[in-house]
Amino acid sequence: MAGNTFGHIFRLTSFGESHGKAIGGIIDGCPSNVEINFKKIQYELNRRKPGQSSITTQRDEADEVEFLSGIFEGKTLGTPIAFQIKNQDQKSEDYDSLKDVFRPSHADFTYQEKYKIRDHRGGGRSSARETAARVVAGAIAKQILAKTGIHICAFVSQIGQVRIEESDLKFSELDIEASLVRCPEKNTSAKMIQLIEEVRSKGDSLGGKIKCTIIGMPAGVGEPVFDKLHADLAKAMMGINAVKGFEIGSGFSAVEMLGSEHNDEFLPGGQTSSNNSGGIQGGISNGQDIYFNVAFKPVATISQKQNTIDKNNNEVVLAAKGRHDPCVVPRAVPIVEAMAALVVLDQLLRQKASQV
């Protein structure tokens, strides 16, 4: 049972290999009669796409989405919305030498073990290029959520050892997008860019952390005991390429807190005096802001020499050519937002199904 469908009511089934004809997906369960803003979809794709700034890979994909069904005269029909993004700037020959090589910390080895066949060009299905389909679906979900007053906003809070102070975490989308690295704090942003340039020059790569907030969430959404709202968010985030960790609200810092410090007291009206819960209690939203952190490992593709093996168990020394980001975290911001939007809209619709 393969795993290329996400969600239960609002469902995305994604397809595509990095250097195949196209990537894309089908959204099933999209509410009907929603007016689609196509520019906003393209805007989200542009935030994710390579080549958008001096610090990202120079692969030049137009990344234009074409809708094949489910939208009529600008409005959703309630039927499946299929879309594709054609793969244009494929330099598949860059990968010829990698046909049989297992790159360290990539998915070459595991895809070969699992499927006994793989499309080696550009990482095939395991390429992060696939996440463009998620961004399209997420952009539609965001539009629907916006109508109900729910807004999702993520930013880069750390790259390598450069980080924003935790005390200062509310930012405007404008400030975020003004930064090449999507870090809204100007000084930190500058330091991050400098760090990326340094590391790139050494042929190395960097990890980072994204913080995401969901504002305007109504109370009562989430499905215990297994499909708790934060459990679904965790799954969504951990399914993004290069993600190694997820924490909600107080997260790992809760380990060292006392109950008396951690508990969020209710105030008259149902607000809480603190928000260590991160807007979710018992797996159900409580009406406070939801926020969580996502940890990204450094990109596996580096141009330094590495030892590895090939399919025939021969030792190989590898040094990546091709075009690669030293740090993908800034481009992952719209992906984090998209996956969060898919989770929240799906759970909102699940809640609608709970009463006749």
Q: Confirm or reject binding of residue 13 to a second copy (CB under 8 A).
A: yes
Residue 24 in contact with a second copy, rule: CB under 8 A: yes
Given candidates 44, 61, 63, 130, which one binds a second copy under the rule CB under 8 A?
130
Residue closest to 66 by CA, chosen among 132, 151, 146, 150: 132
Identify residues 322-351 at the interface with a second copy (CB under 8 A). Answer: 345, 348-351
Helices 131-147 and 329-352 pack at an angle, to 10 degrees, of 50
Please list, in sequence order, all residues whose beta carbon lies within 8 angstroms of the beta carbon of residue 196, skipping any fewer than 6 positions away: 55, 159, 181, 206, 326, 327
Among 249, 331, 333, 341, binds a second copy (CB under 8 A): 249
Which one of the spans 21-29, 41-49, 89-97, 330-338 is the region binding a second copy (CB under 8 A)? 21-29
Buried b (16+ CB within 10 A) or exposed e, 319-356: ebeebbbbbbbbbbbbbbbbbbbbbbbbbbbbbeeeee
Q: Is 78 among the residues that bind a second copy (CB under 8 A)?
A: yes
3-state secondary structure (DSSP) of residue 246 = strand
Site for a second copy (CB under 8 A): which residue of 84, 179, 189, 213? 84
Number of residues that bind a second copy (CB under 8 A): 160
Contact assessment for residue 344 and residue 167, using Cβ atoms and an 8 Å cutoff = no
70 interacts with a second copy by CB under 8 A: yes
User: Is residue 282 part of the contact set for a second copy (CB under 8 A)?
Assistant: yes
Contact 135/45 with Cβ under 8 angstroms?
Answer: yes
Instruction: Pick between residue 96 and residue 268 the one whose CB is nearest to a second copy.
Output: 268
Q: Of 60, 64, 113, 173, which one interacts with a second copy (CB under 8 A)? A: 113
| Mask for 135-164, x = binds a second copy (CB under 8 A) | ---------xx-xx---------x-xx---
At position 259, the amino acid (one-letter code) is: G
